[in-house]
Amino acid sequence: MSAAPVMPVDLSDPATFAAGPPHEFFTWLRNEAPIWWHGPTDHEPDGFWVCTKYRDVIAIERDAATYSSARGGALLMDMADGTELMMLNQDAPQHTRLRMLVARGFTPKVINSMADSVREATRQIVAAVADKGEADFVTAFAAELPLVVISELIGVPYEDRHKVFEWSNRMIGASDPEYGGGADEGAAAAFELYAYAQSLADDRKARPMDDLVTQLVTGELEGEKLSDIEFNVFFLLLSVAGNETTRNLISGGMLALLQHPDQRERLLQDMSGLPLAVDEMLRYVSPVQYFRRTATVDTELRDVPIAAGQKVTIWYGAANRDEEIFERSQEFDALRTPNEHVAFGGRGPHYCLGASLAKLEIRAMFEQILGQLPDMQLAGEPQQLHSNLINGIRHLPVTWTA
């Protein structure tokens, strides 16, 4: 098969994503070079492999012995000191131990028990702005909910939750001119967040409460608990992994509905389709664009030789539009089924710990928005976050009938 040649773009450069993910290039890659060598760039002097096919993303994630998360970490740039304690950057057996410890906070029982308060939080968020008739959707709707929910899950006091918002913005947006002031600013924000996590842990050790922090820092499981530094790093991971992703899925999902009024209409006619629409938003938006692994041995993928030590990146948003798996893969079809997307990962050992919580939040949010503000309209140009990691929207001006 031969697709029209497309100019390669620099996937290591945040500016490449200023107008959204380069889907045209991804389509070319899937069809012409599914295992493609991205030569060295200013941002990434080593060069790296780019994998865009659905089946390859799954195969790589499930073969953690060949494709390590611990050698260099899960992001393109080798990880900073200290972040090897983050589960995302670990392999078995360290990863297995940490995952077992923290998974206690994410059992179906715990998540189900949060359903009412998540719904109540969305009601309050929507009620607080419903009379205004206009807003920046990102700050007014999308950003609030994940913050409230993570804060509640971890046990961050209500009045401190905007600090977590600001720190995670500064960390994730370090590459974006509006949010970040570069790598130093990102590191400073991480440092402040660690200090805050430590104070929270100290507080719970002195005054145990019925929350996740208390469980993680005092509770023991088979003789194991998190060390202080492990807890601080986990707190950082959660505040980024749980906030930025869900926020941008809600914004990106809303934008998809606004740009496809026929699909919104289908949902307004029959809200029982909402769970399917949530999965379609996840597939279509794919808030996490890529993660990285490193080959531990000389190996090959689709007959392409990969050398030990080389970086291998897997692109979720590209895999989620693989025409071999999804019919009309570039289209947003709110009631698409089947829809086994990989927005939360390929069901390997690092599969998203917060997947059910995220789905609960997204469903609750769209129930409220579609129910209360069914005529929401786009009122200006959406502005995209400059990041190759998060497919994000900085601003999304909307109006509705108050």
| Footprint of ligand HEM (CB under 6 A) | 61, 87-88, 99, 150, 237-238, 241-242, 245-246, 249, 287-288, 291, 316, 343-346, 348, 350-354, 357-358
Nearer to ligand HEM, 30 or 247 (CB): 247
Closest separation between CB of residue 346 and ligand HEM, Å? Answer: 6
Nearer to ligand HEM, 150 or 174 (CB): 150
Q: Which strand (E) or helix (H) includes residue 304?
A: strand 304-306
The DSSP line for 100-133 is HHHHGGG-HHHHHHTHHHHHHHHHHHHHHHHTT-
Q: Give the separation between CA 52 and CA 329, rounded to whole angstroms.
A: 14
Nearer to ligand HEM, 292 or 386 (CB): 292
Classify residue 347 as left (phi > 0), alpha (psi -120 to 50) or beta.
left
Where do the H-state alpha helices sit in 331-391? 355-372
Nearer to ligand HEM, 22 or 346 (CB): 346
Residues 285-318: b if buried by 16+ CB within 10 A, e if exposed? bbbbbbbbbbbbeebebeeeebeeebbbbbbbbb
| Residue whose C-alpha is closest to residue 286's, from 391, 146, 173 | 391
Q: How many CB atoms lie within 10 A of CB 260?
A: 16
* Residue showing the smallest CB distance to ligand HEM in the complex: 354
Closest separation between CB of residue 242 and ligand HEM, Å? Answer: 3
Closest separation between CB of residue 316 and ligand HEM, Å? Answer: 6
- DSSP-derived 3-state class of residue 48: strand
Nearer to ligand HEM, 13 or 152 (CB): 152
Closest separation between CB of residue 95 and ligand HEM, Å? Answer: 6
Cα Rg of the chain (Å, integer) = 21
- Lookup: tokens for 292: 């990285």
Closest separation between CB of residue 48 and ligand HEM, Å? Answer: 16
* 154, 212 contact by CB (below 8 A): yes
Q: Cβ neighbours of residue 110 under 8 Å, at least 6 residues apart?
A: 104
Nearer to ligand HEM, 44 or 61 (CB): 61
Closest separation between CB of residue 351 and ligand HEM, Å? Answer: 5
Closest separation between CB of residue 293 and ligand HEM, Å? Answer: 9
Nearer to ligand HEM, 332 or 400 (CB): 332
Closest separation between CB of residue 357 and ligand HEM, Å? Answer: 5
Q: Cβ neighbours of residue 290 under 8 Å, at least 6 residues apart?
A: 11, 76, 313, 314, 315, 316, 388, 389
Give 294's strand partners.
68, 311
Nearer to ligand HEM, 144 or 400 (CB): 144
Nearer to ligand HEM, 231 or 344 (CB): 344
Nearer to ligand HEM, 85 or 126 (CB): 85
Closest separation between CB of residue 23 and ligand HEM, Å? Answer: 17
Closest separation between CB of residue 309 and ligand HEM, Å? Answer: 20
Nearer to ligand HEM, 34 or 287 (CB): 287
Closest separation between CB of residue 169 and ligand HEM, Å? Answer: 16
Query: Strands across the sheet with 134-136, in order?
Result: 134-136, 397-399, 377-378
Distance spanning both ends of the chain, measured CA to CA? 52
- DSSP-derived 3-state class of residue 77: coil
Q: CA-CA distances (angstroms) from residue 154 to 118, 149, 200, 201?
A: 14, 9, 10, 11
* 1, 323 contact by CB (below 8 A): no
